[in-house]
Chain A
């Protein structure tokens, strides 16, 4: 272990950690506002670069039809004016895709908007109905566990769809920026780092300073209270999923040149991000991000010293961290 190796491992750990961090931020956001543990975030992340690659090849990806189908369901579930958003959004998306075939700049935008739309539609169609208790109270709103299992079901379905749409192999889109900043860090990698830090800061400010951000959090803590204050919980949920979709898509697009995107790569990323999110107690953004970087660093070093057991060690790292968090937290019965 010399200085070069140490440096490279640190860089690698930070780069990986930042990926987990981005996803962790999105997961904490979604959980805080909707109580949903967004297991399919990995699939959303991968759909963006894969759809982009398809567009570059002049083809329309299957994810477009998925998004439109969910959008149609969304429109059906809404009444009156509420239908405007899904319908207009869907039409716009289709148009954008038709125009974007073969044009990289438009294709980036198209892939991004696709995942945002898909994220919102996913929430509206699958999660929102679960969270609303029925008027007579004959069935209470779903528990966190039920929401989690729903998320698992969607993860399975989306991953299966990913295989059908994109096939089993990986794809490598061209990076936005070529070359290396310094040995071990490419410009693309630096871009990812910058984006991550920006997102963390932005989310922090959004939730601490802006009224809308605070309203979002309020809606998560107490639905009734939020409604009494004029905040619509459903809207809060859709915004949360939209932001999460945006972050997942951007991360995926920026990362794909570095990691080779494939339909199956998302789950493990999402799981480790989830670990990081928990380290932050599922409430704190800076801590979740920091925790994610720690996870990345730990992973980097264990892959050097004991590559076969790397996964086990990373997850076992959790245990003392969990203890610490649990002792600090007030009893949350969920």
Chain B
């Protein structure tokens, strides 16, 4: 990786305390991070809160960041660890969600939006919403490693190698995870395709 990679160039600026560069970095990746978390835990507000935590961790680790791997691989590794920490926290305190722990840090931040809900046939929209919910549910029910592999492959377009780095496994193990996840989804979504 070289500084010709825009993310690496931004991280080098962040390392020197450039908050404008950090804002740009957030804006480039916020959607990917929020949606990765949202697909894993299913709650939009919590997804935003955890995504903010991910970016804060990125900022605090900027000095230790080495441009030896692709920035997104590093970012998704932090994202995955944040999700895993959230699972652990939930298993220790099953009745608590982040909503119960603290109020939104900024009242103006209320209200996330589903992507692209421009004027369409309401019936069609309802069918699509149902399908989307079914898909999200099926993905969420996958074992953690399979789910992460599917999300990173299908929605974020990461290569097998990059997914393997995020999950800490080999390329062949990644392929195997994806295959098993697809077979499970094929069963769970029967009737929707």
Co-assembled chains A and B: no
A-to-B contact residues, CB < 8 Å: none
